[in-house]
Amino acid sequence: MITARHNWTKEEILEIYNKPLMELLYEAATIHRMHHDPNTVQVSTLLSIKTGGCSEDCGYCPQAARYHTDIEGSDLMSVQHVKAQALRAKESGSSRVCMGAAWRNVKDGQEFDDVLEMVRTINKLDMEVCCTLGMITENQAQRLAEAGLYAYNHNLDSSEEYYKEVISTRGYKDRLDTIDNVRKTNVTVCSGGIIGMGEKIEDRAGMLVALSTLNPQPESTPINALVAVEGTPMEDEKPVEIWDMIRMVATTRIVMPETQVRLSAGRTQMSREGQAMCFFAGANSIFAGDKLLTTPNPDVNEDMKMFDLLGLNPQKPFTKKTQPQTVEAGDSQYEALGEKPKWTRPEHTIERNEDAKVKAKLLR
Ligand code: SAM
Ligand code: DTB
Ligand code: SF4
């Protein structure tokens, strides 16, 4: 059995990524089988609980307020609405609900209390609950854990070097600090990134160094292909080649053998054959549902047909880790501290982000 190593170097990872494809696939599939059932795929449903109007300048994101995209923004969803959506996701075979909010970081107060109630509600439906709410403090992570959160998603997105070309409103260390805060609780870590943002292969390897040298490694890693949304700074990026996706998934599988590798954004552009190769290369999770957060995703029925065709079975909830207990709000050990952590704001200039902002102003 090959166990997780935490000292991967960029050179070693590049060597894996660039292997002849058949060698790479064989190695990844062999490691995959040692740690996972190759016929089981975990299915998560995304739910955007607060959409658009975000203060950050993430160059890939249609939800950043400063760019002009045609997404419809919305305030925080009600707990009842979230419950109804979670029940629908459960009926369609999903084991996890991932709630996303277009926030830079979590602020203590009524909205966060509502999110905690959403977590309690979904955990009581016996589904895994994941949240992606931006940066959080240790106290906020503890409160989410107490409510019954199973996973927290916080992506590194790219290498530390290329991150500076993508986002100027926060630093890489802020992301690592949040992951560290989640690690201090029982909540599992979900962290990955995006390919197709104009980065070099070295940056993909650099991101995998950052993820694989975390100890423990993330329990799940989403690999997103950029969805190039009109109005964002990355609107003109070329679609990711399926071969790049296969290589990225296989390399992730090899350097993080125990992690659930999620084939994430970008599946509408992928054929069934392409996705099948990704599953062979070690992907064992997907986002299902007609929508990701704001952009389209394959139809659930089409995904279920693909599962039938490939002989894949959806993973049952709490297969990898037992269900967390939900503590009711009134019995909580942790109170809101109202902290104001010093997350960074490097604010360096990223030309394409500036251009997209100027264009957006002209369109308003
Ligand atoms: N606001 C929170 C944050 O940034 O952590 C949570 C939501 S954010 C939309 C979650 C992740 O979605 C990002 O870290 C990024 O990896 C991914 N994402 C956003 N827009 C994307 C796009 N156009 N294509 C691919 N992935 C994208
Ligand atoms: C992740 O890595 N990918 C998901 C989830 N985590 C939150 C989000 C993908 C978003 C794609 C663009 C959109 O739909 O807005
Ligand atoms: Fe905001 Fe998250 Fe989008 Fe960045 S990725 S603009 S933080 S919603």
Taking only the tens place, the pLDDT of each residue in 228-237 is: 999 999 999 9
Q: What is the pLDDT of residues 2-60, one digit of tens each?
A: 789 999 999 999 999 999 999 999 999 999 999 999 999 999 999 999 999 999 999 99
Task: Using the predicted structure, report yes or no on whether residue 1 has a pLDDT greater than 80.
Answer: no
Q: Is 262 known to be catalytic?
A: yes
CATH H superfamily, domain 28-320+337-363 = Aldolase class I (3.20.20.70)
pLDDT, tens digit (0-9, with 9 covering 90-100), for 155-164: 999 999 999 9
∠ CA 159-51-227, nearest 5°, is 45
The Å distance, Cα 134 to ligand 2 centre, comes to: 13
Is 131 part of the annotated catalytic residue set? no
The token duo for 169 is: 């409103």
CA distances for 139 relative to 73, 108, 334, 361, angstroms = 29, 10, 7, 38
pLDDT average, residue stretch 150-154: 98
- 3-state SS, residue 94: coil
What's the burial of 355, exposed, middle or buried (CB within 10 Å: 0-12/13-18/19+)?
exposed
Determine the Cα–Cα distance for residues 117 and 136; give it in Å rounded to an integer. 17
In the prediction, which pLDDT does 3 show?
86
| Max Cα–Cα distance, the chain, nearest Å | 58
Q: Which two tokens stand for residue 17?
A: 């990524």
**pLDDT grade for 132, boundaries at 50, 70 and 90:** very high
Q: Candidates 46, 112, 155: which one to mutate for ligand 1, based on the most atoms within 8 Å of Cβ? A: 155
Residue 254: band (very low, low, confident or very high) from pLDDT cuts 50, 70, 90: very high
Please indicate whether residue 206, judged by its CB atom, sits closer than 6 Å to ligand 2.
no
Q: Which helix (H) or strand (E) holds 262?
A: strand 260-263
**Integer Cα distance of 255 and 209 in angstroms:** 9
pLDDT higher than threshold 80 for residue 104? yes
Query: In whole numbers, what is the pLDDT of the chain averaged over residues?
Result: 97
Q: What is the pLDDT of residues 160-189, one digit of tens each?
A: 999 999 999 999 999 999 999 999 999 999
Q: Which residues pair with 42 in a beta bridge?
A: 285
Least confident window among 118-127, 265-274, 334-343: 334-343
Tokens of 94: 């999903």
Annotated catalytic residue, options 247, 262, 267, 278: 262
Point out which residues pair with 99 in neighbouring strands.
47, 131
Residue 2 pLDDT: 73
**Residue appearing with tokens 């982000």:** 353
Mutate to test the pocket of ligand 2, among 264, 285, 291, 295 (most ligand atoms within 8 A of CB): 264
Distances (CA, A) of 303 to 67, 272, 273, 306: 32, 9, 13, 5
CB neighbourhood size of 12 (10 A)? 17
The per-residue pLDDT for 102 is 98
CA dist 225 and 236 (Å) reads 14
54 CB under 6 A from ligand 3? yes
Alpha-carbon gap, residue 262 to 222, rounded angstroms = 4
